[in-house]
Structure 1
């Protein structure tokens, strides 16, 4: 019954008819399983320790498109919106640019498409950078990468220590970023665009992970039926089940479809591009230098990348 509600977003009345149970029973059992799976998520969403962040991901070493250029990579980070039902007086805070109320969920994943960190429940009106700043300020266990390690992020985030963002366009220069822009146009014209092309390719793992998660659990993206407290539980429970399925190595069509793609066209699920074109974000010297060094190395070896 729980899986029908979360996987198909069925109403409890229809689930009761399907299983021959009263609506009261369906409701009670839904919350029993929801509480249990939320606890299960604590075991399956494993935030990496400082020592673990120092390790080089095996999948990274095996992929010559990214190794050794992105040797500091430890994960991909992005935000995604999840529908939620809120009280009328809170709608302004949770109303996003797609004219619906939502949470802005910030998540980090590894190259195995496993969620490794989640900041759950920020209002949908919050910019991705604001969500990141809040997570770092309020969570003493936020897994900040050490030294020259970093998460790959899109241009909605600052290019500062621990976070490697692409080259941003300015008034004088325009740098393409999304994979579709390269597939439907000329090859990269300079080292900045070449960096952006492979950065976008590497970062697509978080988009594919979100894609599998939302495709499997329709309760996350269809008409919201539960309030904020319950929907936050649903987010954690379904992310835990996502990792459980992946770790268990069950045959799964959704994972199989996405793992078959070395990269994915950068579908901007929540339209962050609109923010990044109008928001000025300060950059740090350390990550700017790391980015420039990667770009120069990619450009010098560009004939071997395709």
Structure 2
């Protein structure tokens, strides 16, 4: 570890998802995370592909950090042969990239309705069969499980807020994610608990406990939900503590469920992206220390 990147002792379970500093390069994001005192980073595939997985792994390791997860695989709802083949091929590449950068957790966003336009209206004649789309996603997941298992990678199913059911994720609740994971070993299919997406769920406490009992928790991701939402709801995530999420309660539930892994802060927000990278990293870690870490338990 260089002198530049070792000035602050790392918080042992803290992870900065590089989407939080979207306009920084992978090297810049990793360096900022290390300077701030994070222990890990969550990576995105576009940056990993730009540098190459081996180079990405080296950048992280040389900064004294580890990779908590890779985002993302998924988008498994295609209803035509070409779309199914393309989705399986892309997800196999994602599994290989996750293994190459040194993480066992590949975050999976299952995709919306075929013909949907992220953030926009459906294409003419678009399929509106939500139940059928979920069935196809389950079928594709089954296709991928043997490949993921062979590479030592867990497919981490992330439910998204129902706002995104049409265009990004037909999986909306933690309970749905656990039901989808149930046929497969917990070492190969897990779930992501992302506060932005699940804080509202009246069954959240029970489903977090279930996820722990089933040994399915792959990742705990934090950011806040505040109003008004941005014109693009995807970019409405806020710094922890700036919105309505009860981080003390949710974190205690996650800790009680037995989760001992990294806690990633992942924020999509234009104002946060425009801010200085080091200032953002410092704010993220301070909010983690204040609102999350005290409730993680020993």
Q: TM-score, normalised by structure 1?
A: 0.28
Q: TM-score, normalised by structure 2?
A: 0.29
Larger radius of gyration: 1
Bigger share in strand: 2
The structure, 1 or 2, with the larger RCO (C-alpha pairs under 8 Å, 6+ apart) is: 1
